[in-house]
Amino acid sequence: MCPIYDNANLDQTFGVDIELRARADHKRVPSIISGILMHLDGRYAELEDDEKRKAVWLTNVPLPKTHELRAKLNDGKVPDPEILKGYDITVVAAVLKLYLLELPGNSLVHAS
């Protein structure tokens, strides 16, 4: 682990080293990732076909909506399924992409 993250604020989810976040969650994968993916997996059944499922990841989502959900999930806790249910599936996927984009520089390199 990089020393720069030793005292990272674990009361937040976004912008924290992935390995440190996973350790704080007592998981191999941070709860934000597994929670969102489980939510999306459940919602995929509502979609007609694979094209619609692919569109979930390719649709441009309004940034204010993405940041609204990000703010609700940025508490260092497991994502609340009820909060996720209140958002369109494309917004939830956009928040996962934003989470990955906000990982510190070499976070994924150190986790592998």
Q: Label residue 109 by pLDDT band (50, 70, 90).
A: low
Can you tell me the distance from the alpha carbon of 47 to that of 39, in angstroms, rounded to the nearest whole number?
A: 13
Domain range summary for the chain, segments of one domain joined by +: 9-106
Structure token digits, residue 108: 């994924």
pLDDT per position as a tens digit, 52-87: 999 999 999 999 999 999 999 999 999 999 999 999
Specify whether domain 9-106 bears CATH 1.10.555.10: yes
Which helix (H) or strand (E) element contains residue 71?
helix 63-73
Structure token digits, residue 106: 């070499």
Whole-prediction pTM: 0.85
* Cα separation values, 87 from 33, 46, 53, 61, 69, Å: 16, 14, 16, 11, 8
Q: How many residues does the chain have?
A: 112
